[in-house]
Amino acid sequence: MKIYIAIVKYLYDHDVHLTTHLTQKGALLRIIENIREDLTSGIDEDELEEYRSDMPHDYEEDLKQYSSKQLEGIFSDWAEYAHGMLEHMDYVWYETEVQV
């Protein structure tokens, strides 16, 4: 059975936040949400709409409408954007196989 893993690595304190998902879309939604939360924590709710308005980021409204393939591109865009500001963090997702 395939499962999908979303991982956030905090490089300075060596913490790892890991979630498992039954679908690729679920893992991508989670990892995009993690990046967005890390980038926008402390930003007022009204300002959030203007922050990176060219990229979808709202889990409930914007992201669920996309396919897994489209979410891969959105994840890549967010990861590239975040790399310069959050270089002490690493965001990855991958597919693996488990026996049931």
Query: Of 10, 9, 22, 17, which is closest to residue 96 (Cα–Cα)?
Result: 22
Q: What is the pLDDT of residues 38-96, one digit of tens each?
A: 877 766 656 656 666 666 666 667 788 889 999 999 888 888 877 777 777 888 999 99
Residues 6+ apart with CB under 8 A from 78: 32, 35, 36, 39, 55, 57
Where does 1-100 show beta strands of DSSP type E? 2-10, 15-21, 89-97
What is the spatial distance between Cα 8 and Cα 93, in angstroms, rounded to a whole number? 9
Structural domain spans, the chain: 2-97
Q: What is the pLDDT of residues 9-50, one digit of tens each?
A: 888 888 899 999 999 999 999 999 888 888 777 666 566 566
Structure tokens at 33: 């949400």
